[in-house]
Amino acid sequence: MGLYGVMTGKKGKSGFGSASTAEDVTHSIDASHLTAIITGGTSGIGLEAARVLAMRGAHVIIAARNPKAANESKEMILQMNPNARVEYIQLDVSSIKSVRSFVDQFLALNVPLNILINNAGVMFCPFKLSEDGIESQFATNHIGHFLLTNLLLDKMKSTARESGVQGRIVNLSSIAHTYTYPEGIKFQGINDPDGYSERRAYGQSKLSNLLHSNALSRRLQEEGVNITINSVHPGLVTTNLFRHSGFSMKVFKAMTFLLWKNIPQGAATTCYVALHPDLKGVTGKYFGDCNIVTPSKFATNNSLADKLWDFSVKLIDSVSK
């Protein structure tokens, strides 16, 4: 959309722009026949996306780590919409064990799955390993969602086949994917504290989200499966993702205040890609301000995407064993 479009809210080809809200982009859409999972749906744009999808009639499963925050979010949605269908299942996306447990609990509900929104994430964290021994930003933002998506694919495929309704997967990436390590993905040093950069590690994880989307999109198309997967950049939004940010980020926000969105605007692109009928059949794309935008060269490198896929599978297998 460009800097001018972000600052002015000028609408793009889709009819929406940076000033559009999640309610705007889903206006008059009936989602009552859909079931959606949203990771990290207890705050920020994840909570807003959960609220709006529920408002449009979708059966929403909030997948989140904190039971107290999840129940408070559920109650907030029900207070605003007593007819909302919203449930909570615990999920710590940084934990492979927790991801597997979540999937088991969800499948036990015996409900369809039309939409998967991989929204949860961490940003600019000091170096830390997850309980599985994986660098925390890579573990949370990529590996957990990669495994979650793969474990839920059969359910999404059967739902699409039996209902005739196209399934949709949305990966929350970021423009930060352009600021990664020189080689794109630091395969030989994912868990190495030497040379670790909080910002480059975050960019690496967001690039991984894009590469995952593109690789899975190609695989689904080759299979002829009625499921799309796309990535989105929500924009600059003040949420608790910035809890690890320091003084320099405060200065940056002060200098770029015209570029920042509120939470309803930040959730718009997620909801647009998840629900809008104009995107039927659109897959393997990257969206910003509810319009298709061009990602970095790394993000469109199929060889890098395939290498990351194989690396992720082997990493998960080694941890599981």
**Residues annotated as part of the active site:** 196
CA 130 to CA 133: how far, in whole Å? 5
- Using the structure block, give the residue that is written with the tokens 């925050």: 69
**Can you tell me whether residue 264 is helix, strand or coil?**
helix
Q: What are phi and psi of 310, to 5 degrees?
A: -65, -40
CB 315 within 8 A of CB 130: no
Q: Where are the alpha helices (DSSP H) in the chain?
A: 2-8, 22-25, 44-55, 67-80, 96-108, 136-138, 144-163, 198-223, 247-255, 263-266, 268-275, 302-320
DSSP-derived pairing of the beta strands 260-261 and 236-237: parallel
Three-point CA angle 304, 150, 108, nearest 5°? 170
Q: What is the DSSP letter of 142?
A: I
Nearest Cα residue to 49 out of 278, 293, 266, 300: 266
CB 47 within 8 A of CB 41: yes
Exposed / middle / buried, residue 163 (Cβ in 10 Å: 0-12, 13-18, 19+): middle
Q: What are phi and psi of 169, to 5 degrees?
A: -115, 135
Q: Which two tokens stand for residue 302?
A: 């199929």
